[in-house]
Structure 1
Amino acid sequence: MFRHPLAFWTGALLCVGGVVMHLPMYLSAGDMGYRMADMEPDLTMVLGMVAIVAGLALSFWGLLPERSGAIRRQAAAITVRPMDDVPIRFAHVALLVVMALAITIDVMKPTTLSFVAPGVAREYGLTGAHRLLVTWLPLSGITGTVTGSFLWGWAGDRIGRRASIVFAGILFVSTSICGAMPGFGGNVLMCFLMGIGAGGMLPIAFVLIAETIPARHRGWLIVLIGGDIAGAYVITSWLAGALTPEFSWRVLWLIGLPTGLLLILLNRWIPESPRYLFAAGHPKQAEAVMARYGARMVDRDVDEPAPGWRSGDPDTVEPAPVRRSGYRDLFFGLAARPTAAITLLAVAAGLLTYGFQFWVPTNLQHLGLTEVNSDYVLRDSAVLGLPLTIVVSLLYGFWGSRRTMICLSALTVVAVGVFAVFGESIADKHFLLAALLVVPLSGISSIVAVVTAYASEVYPTVVRSHAVGWTAGMTKAGGVLILIVVLGGIAAPSLLVTGLLGAVPLLVAILVFARTSPETKQRRLEDIAGMAVDRGQSSIQ
C-alpha cells in the first residue's frame, strides 16, 4: 500500500506532533473557560502548523504509487464482483464492523458543526446583527465535504481505497487543531480541510461493500452500515452534553486526534480493491483478496451491459471500447435519467440535513432549552431512532429499494412538517420533544444512507466510484445551497423555513425517482445496470 513507508510514517508523526504542539496554548486558557478568541498564536503553535503542512505533503507522497494515472485507466477495464452463492463469512463481518466504525468517525466531523455553532457564536461575538456570520463555519466545512466527495473518487483509483482511507485519517488528525485555533478565520479554514477528509469516506466505504458482499445481502447491509449516521449523531450529541460544559465547544474538534489515529489503525482490516491491485501489477494479492471474500473477475462484455449503457442499443452485444471513464459519463446518454433522479433526491436530503437538522440544536436553544438540555434531547431522539435505521435497512434489502426510498421520503416530509409546526408548543416537555424528533432526525439520516447505497448498486462498475462520489457530494451540495441562503439573510434558519426548504424539493424528487429508477433488491450489480438502461429508454419513449 505504501510506496515509501518511511516517508508516510514520518509525515504521520509530523502531523501528530504538530497537533500536540497546539495543545499547550489551549490548556493555558483553561482558567478562562478555554476561551481563545483574540489570542495571538505563540511560537510553538506556529511551528506546529509548519509541521502539519510538511507532514501532510510527505505522507501523501509516501502513498502515491508510480504511474498512478495508468493504474486508474487500467482499473477501469477490470470488473470484479462477489459470487452470488457465497455465504457471509467472517471476513465479510469483520469488514462491515470496521466500515461501520470508519463511517461513524467520518460522519462525526460534519455532525459536530451543528453542536459547536452556538458556542462559536458566543465566543466570537457573532450575535445580534452578526449572528448569521457563524454560518461561515458550517458553509466552509460542508463545501469541503462536497470537494472531498469528488476528489476521493479520483484519488481512490490512483492511490487505492485503503490508502485513501489512511490519508483521510491523517487529515482528521491534522484538522483537529480547529479546536485550538484562536481566530475565527483559522476555524473556517480548518473546517474546510476537515470537510475534504470527511467527504470521501462514505463513497469509498459503500463501493467497497458493494463489490465484496453477495447480492442477497448487499442492499440491506449497505443501508445498515450507512445508517450509522444516526449512531454518529448519538455519540456526538452525548459528547457535546458531557464535555462542552467543562472544556468548551473546542474539545469536540480536538477529539479528531484520537479518532483519526483509530481510523488509521482500523485500516489494517480493510482490503484493497482487487481491481486496483490487478491494475497496479499485484495479481497474487488481488487473487488473495478475491478468495477471502468470495469474488471473481468477470468479462465485462458478457457480465455487464456497458454497450447498452453507452450506445442506447439494448440488443447489441458488441463490446464497447475501453476508454477513460469520469463524471461526464453520468450525464450523457441513458445514464442521465437515473443520475437526474438520484441527484434530486440527494440534494433534497442535503437541504434537510443542513437546513432542518443542522439548525435543530440552535433552534432548541431559541425555544428556551439550555445548551446541555438541547444536546441531551437530541441524543435521546437519536437513540430512540436507532431501531428505525434497522427497520429501513431490512425493508431496503427484502421489501424493495424503490418502495423503501419512496415511503421513507414521504414519511420524513410529513414528520418534518409536524415538528416544524408543533415543536415550539411542547418545548418544555423534553421527552415528547425528543419523541417528536425521532423520525425527522433518523429519517433524514436514513435517506442519506439509502440514496448513497442505491447509487453504489445501480451504476456499472466503470462509473460506480464516480457515481457514488457524485451522490455523496450532492447530499452535501444541498447543505451548501441552504447555508448560502442563510448567510445572505434571505431566510432565517427557523424550524418552519428550513423544514419547507427541504420538504418541498424532497416531494419533487420522490416523483422523479419513482418514474426513472429500477429496483435493486437482491439482484446482481450488472443486471441492475442493465435495468437502469431499459428504464431510461422507456422514459425517453
Structure 2
Amino acid sequence: MAVFWIGAAMVTVGVVLHLPMYFDARDMGYHMAGMPMDAGMIAGMVLILAGLAACCYGLLSRFADFGSAAHLKVRAIDDARIGQTHIGLLVVLALAVTIDVQKPTALAFVVPGFAREYGLRSALNPHGGAPAALLPLVGITGTVLGSLAWGWLGDRMGRRAAMLLAGVIFIGTSVCGTMPSYELNLVMCFVMGLGAGGMLPVAFTLLSETIPARHRGWLMVLIGGDIAGAYVLTSWASETLTPTYSWRVLWLIGLPTGLVFILLIRWIPESPRYLLAVGKEDEARQVLRRYKAEVVPMDRSELETEERVGSSYGQLLRPPFLGLTAVLALVGGGIGLVVYGFQLWLPTNLRHLGYEGVTADRVLRDSSLIGFPLNFLIAYLYHRSSRWTLIGLTALVAVALLGFVVLGDSVAGDRPLLSALLVIPIWGSSSVVAVLSAYGAEVYPTRIRSRGSGLVAGLTKAGGVLIIALVVAAVAVPSLRVTAVLGALPLALAVGLAFAVAIETRSRRLEDITAGELSQAPLAS
C-alpha cells in the first residue's frame, strides 16, 4: 500500500501545480479559454498520470477470486452491536456519497457558465458553436462506464480498495476547473465521471455487508438520502462561489473534499463478508474483532450456498435475478431521465423562462432544503418495508412529474407553486436513488453484489446519457413538460412490474435473502 500513498501524493501535487494559472486569470474573471498551458500545468499533468498509475499498481495486490469461502460464522456480523467502527464507517461513507453525487450534480450548474466562456450553443445562445450539452454527455457517459467498471473492481480487488482508487480520481480530476481548452475540459470531465460513477455502488455494497441486518436497511437509505444534501451543497456553492470564482470553482473543490475522503477511509476496514467469501480467513478475523463480532469457526461456511452463483455480469440477467434486475433497470433508467433530463436542465430552463442565475439556483436550493427532512421518513418506511417503499416512492415521483406534464412552462409564473412542485422531483428522485442503491445492494449475492450495485448505479445514469444525446442531436434543451413525461413513463412501468417480482428484504440476513432466491429457480452455469 506504500506505493498507493506515494501515488496519491503525486496526484495531489500535480493538481496543486495547476492552480497558479487559475489564479493568474482572476483579473479576467477566471476566464481561461484559449490560454496556453504553462510549464507548471504540463508538469502537473505528468505527475497526475504517473500518480494514478502508481495507485493502480499499489492496489493490484488486492485482486482476488471467489473460491472456497472461509469457515467462519457469517451470522456474527449481524449479531454484533453498533459500535465505534460502525459509526466511523457510516460517517466516512456519508461523506463519500456526498462527494460522489456532487460531481455529476455540479454539471447542471457548470453548463451555463461553461457555455458562455466557450461560446457554445445553448437555449440562451442558439447561434453559438458546438452544443453545450456535450459536456454533461461525456461526463454522464463516464459515470455509466465507471459504475460498471467499479462494480467489477469491487468484486475483484475488494470494496475498500476500489473506493480508494475512486477517491484519488476525484482529486486528480478536480483540474477540470483549470483546463484552458474546450477539448481538454471534455476529456477531464469524462475521466471525472469514471471515478464518480464508481464510488456510490461500492459504498453501498460495503455498507450492506457490514451493518447488522436489523439496522441495515434504514441506515443505508439514510446515508443515501445525503444525495439530496449534495444537491443542497452544490446549489449553495453555485450561488455563493461562482459569481466570484466562476463556474470553475465547482470542479476545484474536488481537491480538498477528495483529500479528506482518502485520508479518512484509511481507518475503514474491508468488508468482512467479502474477505470470508474470497477465503481470506486471517484478515476476516481481524476485521470481525474490530466490529466486536464473535469469531466462531465452523465445519461448513454459511456462504457455501453462494458458490453456485457465477462471478460475472451475465449472472444478473439470469434467473432468479432477472426479474429483479428488470425492475431496478426500469426504475434506474426512469430516475436517470429525471435527474439528468428534468433536473439537469432546470437551471437553464428557469433562466430561459425569466429567472436570473442566482434566482434559479436559489429556487432549486430551497426546493432541496424543503424535501431534505423527508429523507428521515423514507428511511423509517424502508425499515418497515423495503418492497413497499420502493414501489410507493417510485409511484409518487411518477405522479408528480405528471403535474409538470399538465402545467408545462406556465408553472414558472407562480414561484410558490413552482417551488412546491419541485420538491418531489428533486427530493423524491434522490430518495429513489437512495432506496434503489440500498435495495440493489441487498438482493444480490456476495459474489456479484458489487457488480449488481454497479449495474443499478449505471442504469440511474444511462437514462441521462440517452436524453442528453438527444439534446446534442437536436441542439436544443427539452422543456419542463418533455423531460417530465420522459421520466414518468418508465417509472410507471416499473411500479407495475415491481408488484409481481419485488421481494421483501426487511431485517433479513443477506445470506437468507440469497438462499430464498436460489431456492426459487436454478442457476445457469
Rounded to whole Å, the distance in 2 between the matches of 1:297 and 1:226 is: 32
Cα pair 1:207 1:456 within 8 Å, conserved: yes
Q: Choose which of 46, 50, 57 in structure 1 pairs with 2:53.
A: 57
Q: Pick one of 16, 24, 29 that aligns with 2:12.
A: 16
Aligned-pair CA distance for 1:354: 0.7
Deviation at 1:136, TM superposition (A): 1.1
- Alpha-carbon distance in structure 2 between the residues aligned to 1:499 and 1:190: 30
Match of 1:158 in 2: 156
Q: Hey, what does 1:92 align to over in structure 2?
A: 86
Q: What secondary structure, in the 3-state scheme, does the structure 2 residue paired with 1:269 have?
A: coil
Question: Residue in 1 aligned with 2:441?
Answer: 456
Q: TM-score, normalised by structure 2?
A: 0.92
Aligned length: 516
Aligned-residue offset at 1:73? 3.1
- Note if contact 1:345-1:513 (Cα within 8 Å) is conserved in structure 2: no
Deviation at residue 130 of structure 1 after TM alignment: 4.4
Give the conservation status (yes or no) of the 8 Å contact 1:160–1:272: yes
Specify the alignment match of 2:269 in structure 1: 271
- Mark the CA change 1:535 to 1:432 in structure 2 (over 3 Å): closer, same or farther: farther
Q: Give the CA deviation at 1:425.
A: 3.6
> Which residue of structure 2 lines up, in the alignment, with residue 72 of structure 1?
65
- In structure 2, how many angstroms separate the alpha carbons of the residues matched to 1:459 and 1:151? 17
Which sits farther off after the overlay, 21-30 or 499-508? 21-30
Per-residue deviation, 1:83: 4.2
2:501 aligns with: 516
2:452 matched to which residue of 1? 467
Matched, 1:444 2:393: no
Q: Which residue of 2 aligns with 1:326?
A: 312
**Contact 1:423/1:436, CA 8 A, preserved across alignment:** no
Aligned-residue offset at 1:222 = 0.8
CA 1:298–1:150 in structure 2 vs 1: closer, same or farther (change >3 Å)? Answer: farther
User: 1:76 Cα deviation (Å)?
Assistant: 7.1
2:230 to 211, 229, 232: 232
AA aligned to 2:29 is G
- Provide the rounded CA distance (Å) in 2 between the counterparts of 1:302 and 1:51: 46
Q: Residues 280-302 of structure 1: CA distance to partner in whole angstroms, max 9, x if unpaired?
A: 88644321211333376898988
SS at match of 1:476: helix
Which residue of 2 is the match for residue 261 of structure 1? 259
Alignment of 1:62-461 (within 5 A): 62-65=58-61, 68=63, 71-74=64-67, 80=74, 83-126=77-120, 127-130=125-128, 133-277=131-275, 283-293=281-291, 294=293, 303=302, 306=305, 325-398=311-384, 400-422=385-407, 424-427=409-412, 430-461=415-446
Q: Partner amino acid for 2:171?
A: V
Residues 1:502 and 2:500 aligned together: no
Q: Give me the whole-angstrom Cα distance separating, in 2, the residues matched to 1:446 and 1:352.
A: 12
Distance 1:278 1:519, change over 3 A: closer
- Cα pair distance change 1:367/1:420, threshold 3 Å: farther
Give the aligned residue type for 1:116. V
User: 1:41 aligned to 2:37?
Assistant: yes
Task: Rate the CA distance shift 1:85–1:155 in 2: closer, same or farther, 3 A.
Answer: closer
Q: Tell me which moved more, 159-168 or 137-146.
A: 159-168
8 Å Cα contact 1:303-1:526 kept in structure 2: yes
The answer to whether the Cα contact below 8 Å between 1:338 and 1:536 also exists between their aligned partners in 2 is no
Residue 27 of structure 1, CA deviation: 1.1
Aligned identity (percent) is: 53
Query: What secondary structure is seen at the aligned counterpart in 1 of 2:354?
Result: coil
For the residues of structure 1 that align with 2:140 and 2:436, how far apart are their CA atoms?
18
* CA drift at 1:135: 1.2
C-alpha distance in structure 1 between counterparts of 2:345 and 2:112, whole Å: 10
CA RMSD, Structure 1 to Structure 2 (Å): 2.5
Rounded Cα–Cα distance in structure 1 between residues aligned with 2:274 and 2:180: 42
Unaligned runs of 5+ in 1: 308-319
1:365-423, CA deviations, whole angstroms, 9 ceiling, x for partnerless residues? 1111111111111111111111121111110111x111111111111112122245447
Per-residue deviation, 1:529: 2.5
Query: Displacement of 1:424 after TM fit?
Result: 3.9
1:173-228 CA distance string (max 9 Å, x none) = 11011001111111111111111111111111111111111212111111111111
Matched residues in 2 for 1:402 and 1:296: separation?
33
